[in-house]
Amino acid sequence: MSDTLTAASTRSALERHAYGELKAALTAAPARLGKLWPALSPLERAACWLLLPPKSVAAAVKALSSSARWEAYQTSSVDCLAPLLEGSVSRDFFRSPTRREAALLRAGLAK
């Protein structure tokens, strides 16, 4: 799937709950997420972001625009609105923010 990672194939994998397949594709080509990002829905973006293994995050971040990076950061929270607005992906794939992430988010909101 990594050589054919498109918005349609990503959407299909999510609809089929083929998370392992999508994770493998994103692991093989994390920078591809930057090209896919504008064509994906907010929930699809969040799912892809959270399926990235830690070793692939740096390559994916470099491929994202600054606004996409902020959106990706926001999806790192269990409190993200995407799973509440669209119910296709299990909340089990979402994690709570780290203390540092939560502090940065609070600092950004206080401005």
Cα–Cα distance between 49 and 57 in angstroms, integer? 8
3-state DSSP call for residue 65? coil
Average model confidence (pLDDT) for the chain? 80
Length of the chain: 111
Q: What is the pTM of this model?
A: 0.64
- Residues 22-35: pLDDT tens digits? 999 999 999 999 99
Cα–Cα distance between 42 and 108 in angstroms, integer? 21
- Residues 68-96: pLDDT tens digits? 888 887 776 555 544 444 544 445 555 67
Cα–Cα distance between 25 and 22 in angstroms, integer? 5
DSSP 44-87: HHHHHHHHS-HHHHHHHHHHS-HHHHHHHHHTTSTT-SHHHH--
